[in-house]
Amino acid sequence: MARPATARKPRASSQARIDAILEAARTLLAEQGVGGLSMYAVAERAGLPPSSVYHFFPSVPALLEGLIAQVHEAFRDCLAQPLDGPVPARWQELSRKIELRMLAIYERDPAARQLILAQHGLAEVTRADLSHDIELGRAMRVLFESHFVLPPLPEEPDVFSLALELGDRVYARSIQQYGEITARMAEEGMRVFDAYLGLYLPPFLPRTDGITR
């Protein structure tokens, strides 16, 4: 019986070129925004022939999708990290810890701000971001379930994914209006996130360890 085909990892040399291309694109994105990104500019910044860039990324949207995957990997990693400080007694405390970590990623990563929060009008990039948001929302639900007993939640829409999107809309408004996520708008984004979750989660949830405070 023939074995099913499996996805192969890129060779080390290929992966090194992919990493160089994405790093060059990330740098240009931070400097010039999405509108200033071109395949030839990326190739020049990476020190590679344009054919190498096109080999791995056939278009600018494909390149941006690769960068979005990197950004969302950072978001998923922040969910996987152990929580700082005491174990949250209320789900709102857990929510705040998570949102502050994600805001820190936006703060230090111009590419994340450009791709997710800036207006670029690229449908492919928006779809890729939505797909990753759904995955991120599922991971967030798992994290919440590791600390609290959740009530039954609808499968569609995924309330955690939608809460993330709504919070991002507020952060995007701040970027468009002020050029950064201000402290006030960061607070508003977190309030929107909690307000939407609060439509489905009661103010107090039982902890999975059975401890009440």
State in words which class domain 12-58 has. mainly alpha
The upper half-sphere exposure of residue 196, i.e. CA atoms within 13 Å in the direction of its Cβ, equals 18
CA distance 90 to 26: 38
Contacts of 192 (CB under 8 A, 6+ apart): 166, 167, 169, 170
User: ∠ at Cα 90 (84, 91), nearest 5°?
Assistant: 85
pLDDT tens profile 104-130: 999 999 888 988 888 776 777 788 888
**Contact call for residues 67 and 22 (beta carbons, < 8 A):** yes
Instruction: Give the H or E element holding residue 175.
Output: helix 159-178
Phi, psi of 81 (to 5 degrees): -70, 145
CA distance 69 to 170: 22
Average pLDDT over the chain reads 88
**Contact call for residues 42 and 21 (beta carbons, < 8 A):** yes
CA distance 22 to 70: 9
**Contact call for residues 197 and 163 (beta carbons, < 8 A):** yes
pLDDT tens profile 153-204: 998 889 999 999 999 999 999 999 999 999 999 999 999 999 999 999 999 9
Reference 104, options 116, 113, 94; nearest CA is: 113
pLDDT at 211 over 90: no
CA distance 104 to 100: 6
